[in-house]
Structure formats: structure tokens, C-alpha cells
Amino acid sequence: MESIQESFNKMPGNKKFQQQYQEMKKAIMADADIRAFIEEHDEVDDKMVDRSLARLYEYTTQAKRCEGCPGLANCINMMQGYEPELFINRSVIDIRYNRCPTRMEDEKNKKRNEMIQSYYIPKEILQATFADLDDEDPVRVEAIGTAIQYVEEFVPGETSKGLYIHGGFGVGKTFILGAIANQLAKDKGVRSQFIYTPDFFRQMKSAIQDQSIDAKLDYLKETPLLILDDIGAENISSWVRDDILGALLQYRMTEGLPTLYSSNLDYSLLEEHLAYSHKSGIEETKAKRIMERIKHFTTPVFLEGKNRRV
């Protein structure tokens, strides 16, 4: 393979090209990473450098180690999210591109996010972390501590008990559930399904028409961690209570699968809510049956504080 230098020597009136070539080579050889590579490889000589000049020039134009990284979307490298690495390829110095730290972290985050599926949950909740929680308010410290302890003690495939986080409007119940889901996905690879309960129950009613109820319900029954957000805010009916919620919780109780809840209602008020439906009136026994499945497999956590939505 003929080097660039040899090609220039054959060209008529090559002084201009020679000058440009030497300036480019000088700039390339001034690159600290290139100099370090050459020093580490005794087989590299001037001829190999000349043959490799085009690839070495490409190397100098690429960012390495994500220095000054503007983010994947604005990565300046030829292959976004990949950084160059020099290696000896027979008689030339060549380049291969490897995933950079930013891309690897991005892929890791995407994989974690894919583990948290959701129905009608805002994006910011799905990205919540414990670091984002305001624990300066003393009345919230205990609840947040309980949530953190739950994550620390969670054993995939063994933990069967969940949390029932209740309190007023806008105090951060849903955000804490999001932080739990994210931390469990990150630390222990736990896949979860996060549901805004009122909208989900409405969807289940509409699923009667396309006969997809069983498939949707089976998926929720078997998910490793189920999160029912804002339970008690839905318009209850005997069908939703008994055939959807009851069947769902019965299966998860039998299989030892944990469920987390948030609600504006404590256990007693939720039981009253579940007991009443417009068509069937008050059915206390059926409501108690549901509540036994919730109370026996959750730890109540009261969260108070100011309404953070106003």
C-alpha cells in the first residue's frame, strides 16, 4: 500500500501539497493520545504513520472520553455515542468505535425505564428518585424512610408484602411510589407496572367491547410489582370491585406478589368507598373481603405535609 507521502512525491508541482501535508502531519503528531499510542507500540514507524495519516486525522477530529459532552443528541462524533480507539490493523494504524460512557449510561437508563411500564402516569413520576424527595419536612421523614427501607429489604421473588401510602392531596404519595419503582429497577432489576387506578378501571370497562379484559388482567396479575396509584378515587361498581380488583388481588395474594398503593383514604375510608356502588347499594361483606387482601399484605404509611400542587 502506497503512503500519502509517496503519492505526493510523484505529483508534478508537489511543493504546495508537501507543505500542507507536513503541516497536517505535525498537527496530528501533536495529539497527546496519538503520541501515547505510538510510544506504546514499538512496531509503529514513520512509514506506518504515513500510511495511516487519514485515519489518524479522523481520530483527532473525534471527542474522547465524553469530554465536554453536549449529550447524545448533539454528539460531534461520526457515530453518535461512540468514541474512537486506535489499534494496529496489519500494517496500518486503524480506528474502531466503541460505545462511550454517555451512551452506556443512556442505554442503562432506557433499560431501567423499560422495566417500569405504566398506564396514565406522568413522565416525571416514572423518573422520580429518592434524591429528589424533600426530606426537610419532619412530618415526611418517617414516611420516606419507610419507603427507602422497603427498597433495601426487598428480595425479588420472596417479598410479598407491599405498602399502602395514604394522605392528603398533593403531598407526594405518587412521587414516592415512583422513586420506589425506579430504585428497585436500578438496584434489583425488579419489573413493575404503575397504574393510575381510576383511568385504568375506566379502560377495563371499555375493554368489554374488544374482549381484551382477560389478557390485560392476566398481565397485571403476573407482573412482579404492581403499583395502584390513587385507589379510592374511582367510581366504584360491583363489577369493578369484584371481577377486576378482587380477582386481581386474589391472584397476587395467592402467588405472593407484592402490590403498592397510594390513596387519599385510610383503610377504613377505603372500605366504606368499596362498599358502596350506585347500582348495588351498600355491600359491606364484599368490601371487607377486598380490604382483607389489602390490609394483610401491606404496611400502612401515612404521609402528610403541604399540598405541593398549589
Question: pLDDT, tens digit, for every residue of 189-228?
Answer: 899 999 999 988 888 887 777 777 888 888 889 999 999 9
Higher pLDDT, 158 or 119: 158
Residue 136's pLDDT is 64
Question: What homologous superfamily is domain 115-303 in, according to CATH?
Answer: P-loop containing nucleotide triphosphate hydrolases (3.40.50.300)
Give the span between the Cα atoms of 272 and 163, in whole angstroms: 20
With pLDDT > 70 as the criterion, what percentage of the chain qualifies? 88
Give the span between the Cα atoms of 172 and 262, in whole angstroms: 10
264: nearest Cα among 164, 161, 176: 164
The segment(s) of the chain belonging to CATH 3.40.50.300 are 115-303
| pLDDT band at 306; cut points 50, 70, 90 | confident
Reply yes or no on whether the pLDDT at 2 is more than 60.
Answer: no
Residue 126's pLDDT is 80
CB atoms within 10 A of CB 232: 21
| pLDDT (tens digit per residue) in 14-39 | 677 778 878 888 999 999 999 999 99
Alpha carbons within 13 A on the beta-carbon side of 222: 6
Give the span between the Cα atoms of 304 and 168, in whole angstroms: 7
Residue 154's pLDDT is 97
Which DSSP category does 122 fall into?
Answer: -
Residue 285's pLDDT is 93
Residue 42's pLDDT is 93
The chain-wide mean pLDDT, for the chain, equals 86
Reply yes or no on whether the pLDDT at 49 is more than 80.
Answer: yes
| pLDDT band at 282; cut points 50, 70, 90 | confident
198: nearest Cα among 231, 226, 165, 225: 231
Angle (deg, nearest 10), helices 247-255 and 213-222:
30
| pLDDT (tens digit per residue) in 126-137 | 888 888 886 666
Return the top range by mean pLDDT from 51-60, 102-111, 127-136.
51-60
The answer to whether residues 294 and 261 touch, using CB atoms and an 8 Å cutoff, is yes
